[in-house]
């Protein structure tokens, strides 16, 4: 019983850290840059599948589609997956950053779904609906508890490292310019700032952080497929996390991710405590509760639990 509880805790730590990275990536794009990316799940999927293809050996189809593979070392495969997600971010942002907020959201949402369908029907390249199995972890511990503990520790360390880096960038001149663009793009451009370049950098950086979340997700599950994963619902959840924590506050985004994942995990584990007639509906009712929480936040606390710190220049 104790071992099972420990495994649950370690699994939660890994998942909360993964969603924390997704929230951080969105916090860079939307919280700082005001870029409404409705395709978070697509960049997440790119990181996960790029890592799986780079880290696993190719498998020929034996009644199954099989998949391509390169069997690269874990660190190189992870770096390649992050770069692939960032490159996808540049490819998406380059032609779409001139669109207004709502059209940018539609374009990124469409791209995420196109990518998910391409992966699902990728056949012998991506494994199709069967996905990719036997994805390696950076350590080869056979004991389940040790392996899960190592994965959780890695996820938490990478989350904290990303948070420290993004906090530093957010307080740097680069981050301040990005917030200025979010508040008044025309004024920032009038002051000589290359608005398009800053937006492109923010989008690529956020996409790379989401790709890192995909790397950890693939390593955690060790088997991934896109037919039922990486859906628009995941993007919605990440937005709830950022709104709950506070738009424009990276620390708040991480807190929001932990709170939302904690709620979803606890309510699912307490399924047996609900009336028998509701037990089958619990997995769906908890998302209804998340939607109600989002409405309440927008109405009563639009700046989130940990609002963005307001900075006023004291220079004349």
Nearest to 235 by CA among 6, 22, 10, 61: 22
Q: Phi then psi for 61, rounded to 5 degrees?
A: -70, 125
Token duo for residue 81: 């997956």
pLDDT the model gives residue 144: 84
215 pLDDT higher than 50:
yes
Q: pLDDT tens digit string along 295-310? A: 888 888 888 888 887 7
DSSP 8-state code for residue 271: G
Distance CA 46, CA 90 (A): 13
Cβ burial of 216 (10 Å; 0-12, 13-18, 19+) is buried
**Quick one: pLDDT at residue 100?**
67
Q: What mean pLDDT is predicted for residues 220-246? A: 92
Is residue 3 over pLDDT 70?
A: yes
**Backbone region of residue 265 per phi and psi (left: phi > 0; alpha: psi in -120 to 50; beta: other values):** alpha
Q: What is the mean pLDDT of the chain?
A: 90
Distance CA 126, CA 280 (A): 33
Closest to 48 in 3D by CA, of 209, 206, 218: 218
In this predicted structure, the answer to whether residue 84 has a pLDDT above a threshold of 90 is yes
Span 26-50, pLDDT tens digits? 999 999 999 999 999 999 999 999 9
| pLDDT one-digit tens code per residue, 96-121 | 877 767 788 888 999 999 999 999 99
144 vs 180, higher pLDDT: 180
DSSP label at 29?
I
For residue 309, the model assigns a pLDDT of 76
The DSSP line for 105-146 is HHHHHHHHHHHHHHHHT-TTTT-GGG-B-----SS---SHHH
pLDDT beyond 50 at 125? yes
Which of 119-123, 160-164, 279-283 tops mean pLDDT?
160-164
The pLDDT value recorded for residue 316 is 42
pLDDT at 139: 85
pTM of the model as a whole: 0.94
Percent of the chain residues topping a pLDDT of 90:
62
pLDDT at residue 63 tops 70: no
Residue closest to 159 by CA, chosen among 203, 209, 218: 209
CA geometry: angle at 50 spanning 48 and 197, to 5°? 95
Band of residue 61 on the pLDDT scale cut at 50, 70, 90: low
Q: What is the pLDDT of residues 237-281, one digit of tens each?
A: 999 999 999 988 999 999 999 999 999 998 888 887 778 877 888
Cβ(223)–Cβ(133) under 8 Å? yes
* Stated length of the chain: 316
The pLDDT value recorded for residue 264 is: 92
pLDDT band at 313; cut points 50, 70, 90: low
């Amino acid at each position: 019983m104790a071992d099972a509880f420990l495994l649950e805790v370690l699994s939660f730590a890994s998942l909360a850290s993964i969603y924390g990275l997704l929230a951080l990536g969105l916090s860079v794009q939307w919280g700082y840059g005001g870029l409404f990316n409705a395709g978070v799940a697509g960049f997440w999927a790119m990181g996960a599948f790029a890592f799986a293809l780079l880290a696993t050996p190719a498998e020929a189809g034996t009644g199954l589609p099989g998949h391509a593979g390169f069997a690269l070392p874990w660190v190189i495969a992870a770096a390649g997956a992050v770069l692939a997600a960032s490159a996808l971010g540049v490819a998406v942002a380059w032609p779409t950053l001139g669109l207004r907020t709502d059209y940018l959201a539609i374009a990124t949402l469409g791209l995420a779904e196109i990518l998910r369908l391409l992966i699902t029907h990728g056949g012998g390249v991506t494994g199709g609906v069967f996905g990719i199995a036997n994805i390696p972890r950076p350590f080869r511990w056979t004991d389940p508890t040790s392996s899960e503990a190592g994965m959780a520790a890695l996820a938490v360390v990478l989350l904290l490292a990303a948070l420290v880096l993004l906090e530093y960038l957010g307080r740097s001149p680069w981050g301040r310019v990005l917030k200025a663009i979010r508040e008044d793009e025309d004024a920032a451009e009038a002051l000589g700032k290359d608005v398009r370049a800053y937006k492109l950098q923010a989008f690529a950086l956020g996409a790379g952080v989401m790709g890192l979340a995909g790397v950890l997700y693939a390593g955690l599950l060790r088997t991934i497929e896109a037919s039922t994963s990486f859906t628009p619902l995941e993007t919605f959840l990440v937005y709830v996390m950022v709104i709950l924590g506070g738009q424009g506050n990276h620390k708040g985004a991480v807190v929001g991710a932990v709170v939302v994942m904690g709620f979803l995990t606890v309510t699912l584990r307490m399924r047996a405590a609900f009336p028998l007639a509701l037990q089958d509906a619990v997995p769906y009712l908890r998302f209804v509760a998340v939607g109600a929480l989002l409405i309440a936040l927008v109405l009563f606390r639009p700046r989130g639990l940990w609002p963005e710190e307001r900075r006023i220049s004291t220079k004349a």
